[in-house]
Structure 1
Amino acid sequence: MSTLSDRTGTALVVVDVQNGVVAGAHDRDGVVANIRTLVERARAADVPVVWVQHDDEELERGSDAWQIVPDLVPADGEARIEKQYGDSFEATDLEAQLAARGVGHLVVTGAQTDACVRSTIHGAFVRGYDVTLVADAHTTEDLTAYGAPPPDQVIAHANLYWNFQSAPGRRATVASAADVALDAPATA
């Protein structure tokens, strides 16, 4: 139902599951395990998997911190997007990669919930994509020292508000890793 005509495909997007991003993340191992299961399901269903990696002064390209966690291994031919902004579409070729694959529905996982995941789901939605946020496959670190709620509450809030996002011609949904559809776009 996306507003992108003739783009009925789905893609799994893995945002910033890098050593330096998720080292101290809430339920890191559980979230990474859920993402690994989704990647396996996507590959089995011939659904594209897109890997996003952030690059900045703390995540220098090529450094150990910049690398995708060893629990997850991108396959040959899967799209790799390097970004320097929160929104994975901003100043990258993500849109071109998705268009080439006929994708109009994104299933989004990754880190951090309150930063790059949030920016990416909103960026996709305003660009016309249907977006499913995987409730138990995104995470963030504890930023309570800076006034943020505890990470489990940040994650719960993102799942809550995303389920009520709406806009003409597209759909925002939240699903658990076990329940997310990886073979078809979201439907009304």
Structure 2
Amino acid sequence: MTTLTDRPQTALLVIDVQNDVVAEAHDRDRVVANVASLVDRAREQAVPVVWVQHSHPEGMPRGSDGWQYVPELTIGPEEPVVHKLYGDSFEDTDLEDVLAGLGVGSLMVAGAQTDMCIRSTLHGALARGYDATLVADAHTTEDLSEYGAPTPDLVIAHTNLYWADQRAPGRAAGTVTAAEAFAPAAG
């Protein structure tokens, strides 16, 4: 349903599952395992996997240990890595060019942090004409409740709730579970 009619492919977009980003994340191990299973299934079905990697000069400089992807996830040698400085993975990056080159008009989104880069990228994708599906049990965030935010479980639940019914003209959004994403068609 994407408005990018010349791009029939779907890609898995894995956002910021980096050591420092998920070090204190809610339900980290389960979420990382779900992301790993998504990556495996996408590869088995020849679905492109696109990795997004955040950096910040003061807090998480490029090349540092904290900037590295978690050891449970391995980026394939032919899989593109998009480097970003902002929440929305499209802002000031080559993500749009990477996806256009792969013929991608639909995204399955997983990673961290739910209330920052995940939400920004989902909205950025939909605004740019992509279908954007959130993998409901493959994203997480840290606890920012001391600053007035809801607890991480509520942030995740609320994001899943409102993204399940999100839509725009000619574009689809929604949520699936990790088990449902890239599942073989019944027949």
Q: Normalization by structure 2: what TM-score?
A: 0.96
Counterpart position of 1:141: 142
SS at match of 2:33: helix
- 8 Å CA contact 1:25–1:141 kept in 2: the answer is yes
Q: Is the 8 A contact 1:49 1:79 kept in 2?
A: yes
Q: State the Cα deviation string for residues 124-144 of structure 1 (Å, max 9, x = none).
A: 000000011000000000001
Q: Please, what is the CA RMSD of the aligned residues? A: 1.2
- Distance in 2, matches of 1:113 and 1:183, equals 27
CA distance in 2, matches of 1:183, 1:81: 28
State the distance in 1 between where 2:168 and 2:96 align: 20
Distance change (3 Å), C-alpha of 1:164 and 1:27: same
Q: Supply the AA of the counterpart residue of 1:165.
A: Q
Q: Summarize the alignment of residues 1-188 of structure 1 with structure 2, pairs less than 5 Å apart.
A: 1-56=1-56, 57-181=58-182
Deviations 1:82-114 (A, max 9, x none): 000000000000000000010010000000000
Which runs of no fewer than 5 residues in structure 1 stay unpaired? none
Query: Does the 8 Å CA contact 2:22/2:112 hold for their aligned counterparts?
Result: yes
Residue 18 of structure 2 aligns to which amino acid in structure 1?
Answer: Q
Q: Distance in 2 between matches of 1:128 and 1:182?
A: 24
Q: Using the alignment, how far apart are the partners of 2:120 and 2:30 within structure 1?
A: 23
What is the aligned residue count? 184
Specify every segment of 5 or more residues in structure 2 that has no aligned partner in the other structure, as ranges.
none
User: In structure 2, what is the Cα distance between the partners aligned to 1:177 and 1:71?
Assistant: 16
Alignment partner of 1:74: what SS?
coil
1: distance between equivalents of 2:68 and 2:183?
Answer: 26
Residue by residue over 1:133-186, the C-alpha shift from the partner in whole angstroms, topping out at 9 and shown as x without a partner, is: 0000000000010000010000000000001111100000100000123789xx
For 1:105, give the aligned amino acid: S
Call closer, same or farther: CA 1:136–1:163 in 2, change over 3 Å.
Answer: same
Q: Distance in 2 between matches of 1:39 and 1:117?
A: 17
Q: 3-state DSSP class of the match of 1:39? A: helix
TM-score with structure 1 length normalisation?
0.96
Offset from partner CA, 1:21-71 (integer Å, 9 cap, x none): 000000000000000000000000000001101010211000000000000
How many percent of aligned residue pairs carry the same amino acid?
64
Residues in 1 aligned to 2:70 and 2:25: alpha-carbon distance in whole angstroms: 12
Q: Distance in 2 between matches of 1:150 and 1:82?
A: 28
Shift of 1:79: 0.6
Contact 1:10 1:182 in 2 (8 A): no
Q: Given that residues 10 and 183 in structure 1 are in contact (C-alpha distance below 8 angstroms), is that contact kept between their aligned partners in structure 2?
A: no
